[in-house]
């Protein structure tokens, strides 16, 4: 056989994404087995789903005719409460997360402090806001205070972790230069490290305000204040037009927040 013949017989195929064939086949077969097992165990009441389509259509139609008027008092009250909770919890969360973030940066904190701060961060990140809110409502009673504490706690996990990572990535020479002038520890932090992480800290705080507002919209489901309670009532009464109005307001506020936070963050960088 001549070499041209061999070349003609060999057809190019795309290289597979996972080069190791054993791993590839194991993954494919595992996925198929999992899919079969999960399809077999999810029991869907198709009749109920089919009956629900009518309601689904009604709900989608409600978006073309949202009802802002009938429950405007409740909606506006819930919205203001949500915004207030989001804002104040962001402020308190940021203030608390700065020392924890400093403590969780390995390059400036001693090991015991580092471990404690990382522990706080891990705990705050692992628990879903709703679970924290349920426990806090049980402890502090109904109302926005429980929601405020929940969101502050969630902010700490988010912000401290990212702040600590930012401090760990900082330019060492700047901090060293300040240290060479003989500052106190606070002066060192303030002049050597703070200017380096400040833009990112402000950007992250604004981003977190955005997240906190979104989260505050659901805390009302468990009685922790905010618009969620009104939304829940609207669904329970099948008042889809009011629910649509609330959802439209939430989307509008989230979009406005996201847009302005994008602008501010772009200006900082």
With beta carbons less than 8 A apart as the criterion, state whether 240 and 58 touch: yes
Binder to another protein among 254, 262, 264, 265 (CB under 8 A)? 254
22 near another protein, rule: CB under 8 A: no
Torsion of CA 168, 169, 171, 176, to 10 degrees: 10
Binder to another protein among 36, 251, 263, 268 (CB under 8 A)? 251
64 near another protein, rule: CB under 8 A: no
Which element (helix H / strand E) includes 236? helix 228-236
Binder to another protein among 214, 262, 264, 265 (CB under 8 A)? 214
247 near another protein, rule: CB under 8 A: yes
Least distance (Å) between residue 100 CB and another protein = 19
Question: Would you tell me how many other CB atoms lie within 10 Å of the CB of residue 173?
Answer: 9
266 near another protein, rule: CB under 8 A: no
Provide the mask over 27-46, with x wherever binding to another protein is found by CB under 8 A and - wherever it is not: -------x---x--xxxxx-
Cα–Cα distances in angstroms (integers) from residue 82 to residues 166, 186, 206, 220, 248, in the given order: 30, 36, 16, 9, 15
Provide the mask over 114-153, with x wherever binding to another protein is found by CB under 8 A and - wherever it is not: ------------xxx-xx--xx--xxxx-xxx--x-----
Least distance (Å) between residue 269 CB and another protein = 17
Size of the chain, expressed as the number of residues it contains: 269
With beta carbons less than 8 A apart as the criterion, state whether 258 and 179 touch: no
Q: Which is nearer to another protein, 101 or 225 (CB)?
A: 225
Using alpha carbons only, what angle is made at residue 80 by residues 76 and 85, rounded to the nearest 5 degrees? 150
């Amino acid at each position: 056989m001549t070499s041209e013949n061999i070349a003609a017989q060999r057809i190019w195929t795309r290289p597979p994404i996972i080069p190791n064939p054993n791993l590839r086949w194991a993954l494919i077969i595992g996925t198929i087995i999992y899919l079969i097992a999960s399809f077999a165990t999810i029991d869907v009441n198709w009749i109920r789903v089919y009956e629900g389509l009518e309601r689904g259509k009604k709900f989608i139609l409600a978006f073309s005719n949202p009802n802002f008027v009938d429950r405007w008092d409740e909606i506006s009250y819930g919205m203001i409460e949500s915004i207030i909770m989001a804002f104040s919890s962001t402020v308190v969360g940021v203030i608390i997360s700065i020392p924890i973030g400093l403590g969780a940066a390995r390059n400036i904190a001693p090991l015991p402090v580092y471990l404690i701060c990382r522990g706080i961060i891990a705990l705050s990140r692992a628990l879903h806001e709703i679970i924290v809110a349920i426990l806090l409502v049980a402890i502090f009673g109904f109302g926005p205070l429980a929601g405020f504490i929940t969101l502050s706690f969630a902010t700490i996990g988010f912000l401290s972790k990212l702040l600590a990572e930012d401090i760990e990535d900082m330019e060492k020479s700047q901090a060293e230069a300040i240290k060479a002038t003989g500052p106190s520890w606070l002066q060192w932090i303030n002049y050597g490290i703070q200017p380096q992480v400040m833009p990112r800290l402000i950007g992250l705080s604004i981003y977190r305000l955005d997240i906190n507002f979104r989260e505050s919209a659901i805390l009302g489901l468990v009685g922790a204040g905010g618009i969620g309670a009104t939304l829940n009532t609207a669904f329970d009464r099948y008042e889809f037009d009011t629910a649509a109005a609330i959802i439209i307001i939430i989307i509008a506020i989230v979009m406005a927040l996201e847009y302005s936070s994008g602008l501010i963050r772009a200006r900082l960088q």
